[in-house]
Amino acid sequence: MSVNVAVVGVTGAVGQEFLNVLAERNFPIKNLKLLASVRSAGKKIDFKGTTYTVEELTKDSFQGVDIALFSAGGSISKEFGPIAVQAGAIVVDNSSAFRMKDGIPLVVPEVNPEAIKKHAGLIANPNCSTIIMNVPVWPLYRANRVRRVIVSTYQAVSGAGAWGLWELDEQIKAYANGQPIVKNKFPHQIVNNLFSHNSKVGENGYNEEETKMVNETRKIFGDPKIMVTATCVRVPVPRAHSESINIEFEKPMTPEQVREILKKAPGVRIVDDPATNHFPMPLEASGQDLVLVGRIRQDISREDGRGIEIFVAGDQIRKGAATNAIQIAERLV
């Protein structure tokens, strides 16, 4: 069955990746509508051999649309998401606008695909760091309930948007040429540096990115008691987030058991070769949809055998955003 699809925010980094993934996965599109701000209206974009004109996003944009893929920021989603639903579309939204709203499914298809059926027109795509963590942790959780997760992230600059890539590139050029390093949108120099994730810090000391990982994981897993604590860091890497994850299980768990479970887990590829010191890297995770998992080892600080350490890398623009949303759309079709 072919469907009418609208892509909102099509000129952004994730919007462009929506088109790449739709084409790669041969998504059954009957009619395609490309939507963006008035500044981008009129631009020409090629998709599978056809040239499309970007249209201005308005309240009348969703007539006849079956599925609307949103990646244009929370304020746009809040304004136009309900309008799209009212027009008869099912919205898959990549912003944080609806993630923690009661009655709106928050979905990682490898984890909780059954939640898709409970939608009332809106489905939320989780935060990229949450998705990359949840894909490998969930199959382990199913085998042996996870009580606690301690995660530290190493997040690529493109997670901040296309401007993050531009700023890193400009600072690299300036450093190479011995010129002054100019900060534009990032609060600190990013070349030859790293810093705490550039999101607002709350009264409890956790920034917004860290809080998302805590709350979203509980909702996706359907487990309000799972303990999650996160430290999120921005690093001078163009693309793909990496995460160091310490997992506490209800019962003892061995690295061998973890490997056997993850070998069969959807969305995961094990990259774990101590002999050559080859483990997950953002360079190898970029441009693909699998989450790479390695450094699988026992937590030697525990004597009860219930702790496991892993290191993961995943493309936050693809699996952390565009691909996850399109996997949801595929299940809707």
CA 243, distance to chain mean position in Å, is 13
Active site residue 241: yes
Please identify which of the residues 128, 188, 232, 278 carries the catalytic annotation.
Answer: 128
Query: Would you say 289 and 267 are in contact if contact means Cβ atoms under 8 Å apart?
Result: yes
Residues 266-284 as b/e (b if ≥16 CB within 10 A, e otherwise) read ebbbbbbeeeeeebbbbeb
Rounded distance, CA 220 to CA 108, Å?
7
Contacts (Cβ under 8 Å, ≥6 apart) of 210: 197, 229, 230, 231, 232
Rounded distance, CA 289 to CA 123, Å?
20
Contacts (Cβ under 8 Å, ≥6 apart) of 105: 112, 115, 116, 118, 119, 123, 124
Phi first, then psi, for residue 13 (nearest 5°) are -60, -45
Q: Max alpha carbon distance in the chain (Å)?
A: 63
Please identify which of the residues 188, 197, 241, 278 carries the catalytic annotation.
Answer: 241
Nearest by Cα to 172 from 161, 164, 183, 181: 181
Active site residues: 128, 241
